[in-house]
Structure 1
Amino acid sequence: MARIGVEAALTDVEEALQAQGHEVVALQNEEDASGCDCCVVSGQQENMMGMADTTTDGAVISAQGLTADEVCQRVDQSLQSR
């Protein structure tokens, strides 16, 4: 399965993705996203300056306002479109 980076605060999402067979990596800094097929973030830390340095080629999915199942669906959609 895929390698998915997940922010530490999203334990329910982490558990759901692991149950689907994905390898889950804790995102504690920018380097952790390297090599991930997809990253899931809480969406609570917005980039106020509009600047971003990408460290992954995979999709970045905001979990804000979504259930763990909805996040898993978005991850699956992202992986299928690659």
Structure 2
Amino acid sequence: MPKIGVEETLTDVSSLLREKGYDVVALRTENDAQGCECCVISGQDQNVMGIQNAVTAGSVIKASGMSAEEICQEVENKLR
């Protein structure tokens, strides 16, 4: 299954993705996103300093305002 990076604070999303069989990695540092086909972030700390460094070629999903099920559906859509 694809490797999905999920921000540590999104535990419900991590659990649901694991239940669906995905290889879930906690995003603690920029290096954790390497090799992920998709990353899920809360969006709260997004680009605070105005710096953007691309660390993954995969899709990035901003989870703000979405339920865990909606996020999982978005992940599945991005991986198609």
Paired residue type of 1:35: G
Aligned residues: 80
Could you tell me which runs of 5 or more consecutive residues in structure 2 were left unpaired when the two chains were aligned.
none
Whole-angstrom distance in 2 between the partners of 1:48 and 1:23: 28
Quote how far apart the aligned CAs of 1:48 are: 4.1
Superposition pairs of residues 10-49 of structure 1, within 5 angstroms: 10-49=10-49
Q: How many angstroms does 1:51 deviate by?
A: 3.1
What SS does structure 2 have at the residue aligned with 1:44? coil
Which SS does the other structure have where 2:55 is aligned?
coil
Structure 1 residue 2 displacement after superposition: 0.8
Change (3 A) 1:48 1:9: closer
Structure 1 length-normalised TM: 0.92
Structure 2 length-normalised TM: 0.94
Equivalent-residue separation in structure 2 for 1:48 and 1:9 (angstroms) = 17
| Deviant stretches of 4+, over 2 Å | 48-51
Name the SS of the counterpart of 1:4 in structure 2: strand
**Superposition RMSD on alpha carbons, in Å?**
1.0
Q: Structure 1: 5+ residue runs without aligned partners?
A: none
Alignment of 1:1-82 (within 5 A): 1-80=1-80
